[in-house]
A = this chain, B = another copy of it.
Amino acid sequence: MAPVTNGRYVFNEYPTGYPVIDKTVSYDATNTIDLWNVPLNGGTLIKVLVLSIDPFLRNRMDMPDPEAAFSWSFKKGDPIEGYGVGVVLRTENSALKKGDLVYGLYDFQEYVIWPGLPANGISRVLENKENLPLSAYVGVAGMPGQTAYYGWKEYASPKNGEVAFVTTGAGPIGATVIQLAKAAGLKVIASAGSDEKVAYMKSIGADVAFNYKTTKTATVLQKEGPINIFWDNVGGETFEAAIEYAATGARFLQCGSVSTYNATEVYPVKNLTKITVKELHIHGFNVAGSLATKYREEFYATVPGQIARGEIKYKEYVLRGLDKAGQGLLDVLTGKNFGKCVIIVADE
């Protein structure tokens, strides 16, 4: 068979503010690949089926710090990289076989050759006994679901009757946290950026849901708080409001700060001294950090089944075609997406 196009989504330059499609990043269809004859050298040829669009992609577009020992910034001219699921087409690796579904960090490219399964604690062959749609494995059953599950398990310490405030509650992390908090017997306040997202958050259990673009977070927390648990995916002014209306001894789970990623000026949080007065506990964490080893197997043994049985609900925002990756990222960064943003690169 003749070589086929191996499209890729390339990083071109470090943006200021929001990335610009066809400038910051662009789709490139000039490469080809001969799927039958390309040498594997002991590795594995994978066809990428699903790619995940997550806010952290924007962080990786930040200019690398020249003094830092390690930079995870994208390199100009390389494809961007994120979570995905692919299927093994050919392999010379005895640990894999044709047809295996593989979760991991992928170059945004239609076909990739991996020397081996990267030993990054992320890659794994998906059993998918529950027959979930593969897109679920980059969302509620993937990195975002893991983020929610690991953080909640380790740091929330929920007590029945307490109050939790969950930001980005219609996104894949926040929506999972809302459901974990309700299962723990908490009153849940949740915020998102549109009225349809508010309705969705209520449908999955939020007791109080509001549109932060039309209702001030501080006003809601003053009325419905004080809060014992704060799931922060936003930072900035929202973090400040949470400190202001936190109960003594509240736990803050710092998952991200999407409000700051494209901001050119830092919001000056004015009440940090209350961390001491209120005895707050603020825990930063990330899914690839110290918690993964502790909770990964428990997660895969538990959560896909709960999803299959409908005990954990989720919602997706699906774009078709690798060339839509930039649009997906912009939608995620501006909050236009409603549900977990996934790119269907190929159906099989």
Interface residues of A (CB under 8 A from B): 235, 239, 248-249, 254-257, 260, 266, 268-270, 272-286, 289-290
Contact = CB atoms under 8 A, between A and B. Distances in A.
Given A249-B290, A290-B249, A279 B272 contact: no
A282 B282 contact: yes
A260 B278 CA distance: 16
A284 B260 CA distance: 24
A256 B276 contact: yes
Given A249-B290, A289-B248, A257 B282 contact: no
Given A254-B276, A260-B272, A268-B268, 20 more contacts: A235-B273, A239-B272, A249-B290, A255-B276, A257-B272, A268-B269, A269-B269, A269-B272, A276-B284, A276-B285, A276-B286, A277-B284, A278-B284, A279-B284, A279-B285, A279-B290, A280-B283, A280-B284, A281-B282, A282-B282
A277 B286 contact: yes
A235 B272 contact: yes
Contact of A282 (B249, B275, B286): B275
B281 A257 contact: no
25 contacts: A235-B273, A239-B272, A248-B289, A248-B290, A249-B290, A254-B275, A257-B276, A260-B272, A260-B273, A266-B270, A268-B268, A268-B269, A275-B282, A276-B284, A276-B285, A277-B286, A278-B284, A279-B283, A279-B284, A279-B285, A281-B281, A281-B282, A281-B283, A282-B282, A282-B283
A290 B249 CA distance: 8
- Chain B CB within 10 Å — which of A274, A276, A279 has the most? A276
Protomer copies: 2
A284 B290 contact: no
Contacts of A286: 276-277, 279
A273 B284 CA distance: 9
Contacts of A268: 266, 268-269
A285 to B, nearest CB: 5
A62 B275 CA distance: 17
Nearest to A233: B276
A57 to B, nearest CB: 15
Contacts of A281: 281-284
Nearest to A261: B273
B279 A257 contact: no
- Top 5 A-B pairs ranked by shortest CB distance? A268-B268, A275-B284, A282-B282, A276-B284, A257-B273
Contact of A279 (B273, B274, B275, B289): B289
Nearest to A256: B276
A248 B273 CA distance: 23
A337 to B, nearest CB: 21
Contacts of A276: 254-257, 284-286
Contacts of A272: 235, 239, 257, 260, 269
